[in-house]
Structure 1
Amino acid sequence: MLIDNHGRPINYLRLAVTDRCNLRCFYCMPHEGIDFLPKTHLLSFEEMLRLIGLLAEMGISKVRITGGEPFVRKELMAFLWKISEIEGIQKINLTTNGVLTAPYVPELKQLGISSINLSLDSLDRKRFFEMTRRDELPNVLKTFDAILENDIPLKINSVMMAGKNEEDIFGLVDLAKNHPVGIRFIEEMPFNGEGEKPEYFMSYKKIIETIKAKHTTLYKISDEANSTSYNYKIEGFEGTIGVIAAFSRTFCGTCNRLRITPTGDFKTCLYADSEMNLRDMLRAGLSNQEIKEKLQASILHRAKDGFEAEAGRKDAISESMTTIGG
């Protein structure tokens, strides 16, 4: 088992398979987009599989595939099947924006995907376009329906912003009324590709207060171990409501996650600088044991929380979330 320098067990890897995305969400990247990297700069699937195998030997049992948008990368399903064959990997999870995902949902069910997180910030087509700069809501809703039809555990991730989509909060909450889904509202973060502080910030406390003003039967339920969200139920609702204090960073004390970016940067915290570049190590011919020793050493110098990690950066935050992994 991997244990960091603060005594926290580490068993969860978030792996971004691409920096490319077919949406242009304004809180994630500038209007003109970002400069996507040449394919040769990205980890190959073979390199990713080697790293997952090494980390599985060290104690990682859960892998979440993120992007960018994972389904923008060709041959993703074949890659997921290969992950499922790695000894020690017990859960494969997926985060997607749903634009391209619907046709793959039956195969994801066959694969045994543990759960899917679907990004959805608005149910209003006009506001969805304003948020994402793309008119893709119908395709996202097709994915929503397909996931439910195939009985795959589903969570909706919504970045909630004052003056932008806060009027969508109740429509999104209502999705949990008759569907077994977890609706999770996320605080806006500064990973917008320009280094700007969250401009339309709504705290997790404000989000819950807003929901409770209408749904007075909202009550707290227990959170799973290592949960990033505070979770709630509304009487009579089939699903759950959650809030993720991504900017307030209240969940760091139980963080069990590591990150690998599409280019192989290894991060022990979302807010931290890259610890090292695993792509370069692989291509330089380092042995499996040498890479494992470097991973272990990095994990033993992990920041206590996101604030300490941010304070220790060489430069201010300027990345887009799509280059880190959502």
Structure 2
Amino acid sequence: MLKDNHGRNINYLRLAVTDRCNLRCFYCMPEDGLNWLSRTELMTYEEMLRSCSLLVKMGIEKIRITGGEPFVRKDIMQLLTSISQLQGLKELSLTTNGVLTAPYVSELKKIGVRSVNLSLDTLDANRFFTITRRDEFANVMAALDALLKHNIEVKINAVVMDGKNTQDIIPLVEMTKDLPVSVRFIEEMPFNGDGHLYTGLQWDYVRILEEIKTKYPQVQKITDPAYSTAYNYQIPGHKGSIGIIAAYSRTFCGTCNRIRITPQGELKTCLYDDGVLNIKNLMRSGTADNELQGILLNAFGNRPKDGWEAEQLRVQHPGIHESMATIGG
């Protein structure tokens, strides 16, 4: 088992395969998008597979594919299929906005993907357009339907934003009555990609729970799985469950088991750090796997104790402003 310098297990990799996205969610990027990475700046699929293979051999057991939006990258199923065949990997999952997902669901099921996180901040088509700046609500709902029909576990991720979608908290909770989904409310984070400083959190995990209790005072705390980033709840009689992720409050850092690799190959041992080394560049300079393993172990042995320390240590981008699409969530 991989461990960091604070004794925390590391067994979970989030691999971002692209920075590009077919939505323009205002909390993630400017309306006109970002300066997309060129093809040469991105990791190739061969480099991604080599990274995943090495990390699985070192102790990574779960890999989540993220973006940007994974399905905007050409031939993504080839990479997913190859990763799913790695010996020692116990779980392959992905996060998607659902716009292009529905046609791939049967293939995802076939290669063993058992869990998909679906980004959905509102159940109102007009608010969806306001938030995402795209008219794709029907495609996202079609993806949800396809995932449920194929018995793939669905976690719905909703970022709670003051003045934008707080009226959707209760309708999203109501989805859990008849659908076996986990609806997870996420505190808004400062990764908006527009260079503006974060103005502060209006809806933290405590306030979100209090809002849920206004309609469902009987909501009950349930056991949080190992390494859970969410506080988990269930309403008696409901098929699904509720999660609240304190992403900005950072209350779960003490059990964090995850690392991230960005589309350009930057290793992040914390969501809030600057990136600690570039795996792609090391590979392209001829670094052998045994050397790379030693470099990675050194990085894991110098991990910040929490997201607050990681943020304080930032050098390249003090005052976080990069887009979540560039770091993989």
TM-score range (shorter-chain normalised) is over 0.9
Whether the 8 Å CA contact 2:180–2:240 is kept in 1: the answer is yes
Matches within 5 A, 1:304-323: 304-314=305-315, 315-323=318-326
1:114 is displaced (CA, Å) by 2.4
Q: How many residues align?
A: 326
Give matches, 1:1-326, under 5 Å. 1-193=1-193, 194-198=195-199, 201-314=202-315, 315-326=318-329
- The one-letter amino acid paired with 1:104 is Y
C-alpha distance in structure 1 between counterparts of 2:54 and 2:319, whole Å: 32
Question: Do 1:228 and 1:251's aligned partners in 2 also have CA atoms closer than 8 Å?
Answer: yes
Q: Check conservation: 1:226, 1:254, Cα contact below 8 A.
A: yes
**% identity of equivalent residues:** 57
Indicate if the aligned counterparts of 1:12 and 1:61 stay in contact, CA closer than 8 A. yes
TM-score by length of 2: 0.98
What's the offset of the Cα at 1:32?
2.0
Deviation for aligned residue 1:136: 0.4
Is contact 1:195-1:319 (8 Å) kept? Answer: no
Ranges in structure 2 where 5+ consecutive residues have no aligned partner? none
Distance, in Å, in 2 between the alignment partners of 1:217 and 1:140 is 30
Q: Deviations over 1:158-184 (max 9, x none)?
A: 001121100011111111110110000
Change over 3 Å in CA distance of 1:241–1:198 after alignment to 2? farther
* Structure 1 vs Structure 2 CA RMSD: 0.9
Give secondary structure in 2 for the equivalent of 1:27. coil
| Aligned equivalents of 1:190, 1:290: Cα separation in 2 | 35
SS state of the match for residue 65, structure 1? strand
Structure 1 outlier segments of 4+, above 4 Å = none
> What residue identity is the alignment partner of 2:132?
T
Contact 2:197 2:319 in 1 (8 A): no
Structure 2 distance, partners of 1:238, 1:107, is 26
Q: Is the 8 A contact 2:218 2:236 kept in 1?
A: yes
What secondary structure, in the 3-state scheme, does the structure 2 residue paired with 1:92 have?
strand
Give the distance between the partners of 1:186 and 1:196, measured in 2 at CA: 19
Amino acid corresponding to residue 22 of structure 1 in structure 2: N
What is the CA-CA distance between 1:84 and the residue it aligns to? 1.1
Asked whether the equivalents of residues 229 and 245 of structure 1 are also in contact (C-alpha less than 8 Å), the reply is yes
Give the Cα separation in 2 of the matches to 1:312 and 1:324.
17
Shifted more, 197-206 versus 35-44: the winner is: 197-206
Q: CA contact under 8 A between 1:12 and 1:63: conserved in structure 2?
A: yes
Question: What is the CA–CA distance in structure 1 between the aligned matches of 2:112 and 2:178, rounded to whole Å?
Answer: 24
Say if 1:164 and 1:200, in contact at 8 Å, map to a contact too.
no
What is the Cα deviation at residue 86 of structure 1? 0.9
Contact 1:156 1:181 in 2 (8 A): yes
**Alpha-carbon distance in 2 for matches of 1:144, 1:305:** 34
Distance (Å, rounded) in 2 between the aligned partners of 1:196 and 1:47: 34
1:195 Cα deviation from its structure 2 partner: 4.3
Q: Distance in 2 between matches of 1:33 and 1:201?
A: 25
What is the alpha-carbon distance in structure 2 between the residues aligned to residue 250 and residue 301 of structure 1? 20
Q: Which amino acid aligns with 2:224?
A: D
Cα shift readout 1:32-69 (whole Å, capped 9, x = no counterpart): 21100111100000000000011011100100000000
Q: Which secondary structure does the structure 2 equivalent of 1:51 belong to?
A: helix
Name the CA distance, whole Å, in 2 between partners of 1:155 and 1:198.
Answer: 28
Structure 1 residue 235, shift from structure 2 partner = 1.2
| Aligned-partner residue type, residue 328 of structure 2 | G
TM-score (norm 1): 0.99
| 1:176 aligned counterpart, secondary structure | helix
- Structure 1 residue 273: Cα displacement: 1.0
Structure 1 gaps of 5+ residues are: none
CA distance in 2, matches of 1:88, 1:47: 19
